[in-house]
């Protein structure tokens, strides 16, 4: 399984945002693209993927490739799925996640909570422009890629990550948007061992 | 210079579409993402890129990295730039392109018109899932990547392409969305020759 954890520092923590103004809703445009670039292929879905969106350090919305329904490639409909999850945030109590729509759930807690939950299911790797070159690195079996939104990891994020891994991986020499980084990370795994497609 | 030509078979040929319903406007959500994945880095723009959107075979909108202004990462604002270009479509007469906003212009004509215009400035390469593996191929100096939207190339597209190239390149074993393909193609060029970033 491949997992992505996007730390959305400015991500909304309530559903009080407009689908007509996604960039001003904590960069919900970017967050929606991160969900779709994690999960969608041209004519299908990556069923072996889970995407975790850490919103403002307070909630984590998880989208599961093998269960999600009505996930479309555009930002607006994907943002609506996330907004629906946020409508159920009060039902997420303690460490219990609540399913808001098929394959989409919300959990109370941020980066440390979600890593405590999933770290044992794979290898935690930070995607960061100041990392070792992916092209020189052997892909792990069950990567859990952690990456940040349009802002840098905070010192608190860094301490949390230090508890799991010091491994930073760069997918290329250019500084990419988070959704572009996810697309390239998938391709790195997809092409591993292939010389003909 | 890197150039991308996206053949948007269902792309709108008039500005009569709503920014609230991009998927039903000839998949304008996808077209907008193709523009941004061609041109945007995390904190900047790829000034050495030109992106050509062939809309419904009738018009081609070109966005130039070294001149475009007000290009943001979200679908809606990018779709608005394209819609503005379509508002100027009647002014595009013969083979003269009309600038609709800084760095954005519209030309009357489809794939054969734009290739006739630009083919001499680089190497025409078709991005297609049934191509030779990019990982086994040396990147050309000035690639002109041609790719299709969510539909296949038509027989007419194929004859046009045959006049320029028979070279099909696949960026990986999975069938990706056009915007994802563009992101991976950039990374293929970005990482060429790099073992450390």
Determine the distance in angstroms separating the CA of B94 from the nearest CA of chain A, rounded to an integer: 35
User: Residue B141: which residues within 8 A CB-CB, separation 6 or more?
Assistant: B122, B123
The CA–CA distances, whole Å, from B27 to A71, A101, B9, B17, B150 equal 15, 25, 10, 11, 8
pLDDT reading at B103 higher than 80 = yes
Count the Cβ atoms, other than its own, within 10 Å of residue B196.
9
Q: Tell me which chain B residues have a C-beta less than 8 angstroms from the C-beta of A74.
A: 22-23, 29-30, 75
Determine the distance in angstroms separating the CA of B136 from the nearest CA of chain A, rounded to an integer: 6
| DSSP 8-state code for residue A23 | G
**Chain B contact for A37 (CB, 8 A cutoff):** yes
pLDDT at site B194:
73
> What torsion, rounded to 10 degrees, do the Cα atoms B150, A79, A186, B134 define?
30
Hey, are the CB atoms on B173 and A195 less than 8 Å from each other? no
ipTM value: 0.96
Strands (E), chain B: 2-8, 40-41, 44-45, 49-55, 59-64, 98-101, 104-108, 123-133, 143-148, 168-170
pLDDT at site B165:
79
Mean per-residue pLDDT for B101-110? Answer: 98
Determine the distance in angstroms separating the CA of B46 from the nearest CA of chain A, rounded to an integer: 10
pLDDT at site B193:
73
**Chain B contact for A175 (CB, 8 A cutoff):** yes
Hey, are the CB atoms on A42 and B74 less than 8 Å from each other? no
pLDDT at site A196:
73
Mean per-residue pLDDT for B132-138? Answer: 91
pLDDT reading at B158 higher than 90 = yes
Q: Tell me which chain A residues have a C-beta less than 8 angstroms from the C-beta of B175.
A: 41-44
Task: Tell me which H or E stretch contains A166.
Answer: none
Please say whether the beta carbons of A107 and A92 come within 8 A. yes
**Chain A contact for B177 (CB, 8 A cutoff):** yes
pLDDT at site A170:
96
Phi-psi region of B39 (alpha: psi -120 to 50; beta: other; left: phi over 0): alpha
Query: Distance between CA B2 and CA B38 in Å, rounded?
Result: 9
The series of mean pLDDT values per 10 residues for chain A, 197 residues long, is 98 98 97 98 96 97 98 98 98 94 98 96 94 91 96 96 90 96 97 77
Determine the distance in angstroms separating the CA of A150 from the nearest CA of chain B, rounded to an integer: 7
Query: Distance between CA A78 and CA A83 in Å, rounded?
Result: 9
B183 → chain A, closest CA residue? A180
Query: Distance between CA B98 and CA B115 in Å, rounded?
Result: 17
Per-residue model confidence as pLDDT tens digits over B12-63: 999 999 999 999 999 999 999 999 999 999 989 999 999 999 999 999 999 9
Please say whether the beta carbons of B176 and B128 come within 8 A. no
**Chain B contact for A133 (CB, 8 A cutoff):** yes
**Chain A contact for B77 (CB, 8 A cutoff):** yes
* Token pair 């809309």 in the structure block, residue: B55
> Which pTM does this prediction carry?
0.97
């Amino acid at each position: 399984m491949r997992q992505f954890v996007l730390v959305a520092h400015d991500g909304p923590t309530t559903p009080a945002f407009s689908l007509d103004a996604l960039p001003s809703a904590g960069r919900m445009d970017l967050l929606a693209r991160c969900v779709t670039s994690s999960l969608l292929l041209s004519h299908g879905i990556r069923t072996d993927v889970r995407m975790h969106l850490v919103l403002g350090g307070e909630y984590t919305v998880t989208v599961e490739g093998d269960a999600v329904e009505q996930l479309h490639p555009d930002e607006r409909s994907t943002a609506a799925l996330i907004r629906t999850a946020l409508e159920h945030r009060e039902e997420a109590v303690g460490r219990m996640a609540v399913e808001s729509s098929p394959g989409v759930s919300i959990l109370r807690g941020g980066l440390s909570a979600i890593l405590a939950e999933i770290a044992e299911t794979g290898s935690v790797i930070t995607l960061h422009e100041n990392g070792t070159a992916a092209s020189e690195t052997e892909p792990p079996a069950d990567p859990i890629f952690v990456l940040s939104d349009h802002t840098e990891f905070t010192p608190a994020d860094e301490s949390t990550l230090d508890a799991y891994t010091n491994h930073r991986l760069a997918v290329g020499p250019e500084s990419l948007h988070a959704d572009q980084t996810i697309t390239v990370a998938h391709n790195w795994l997809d092409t591993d061992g292939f010389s003909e497609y």
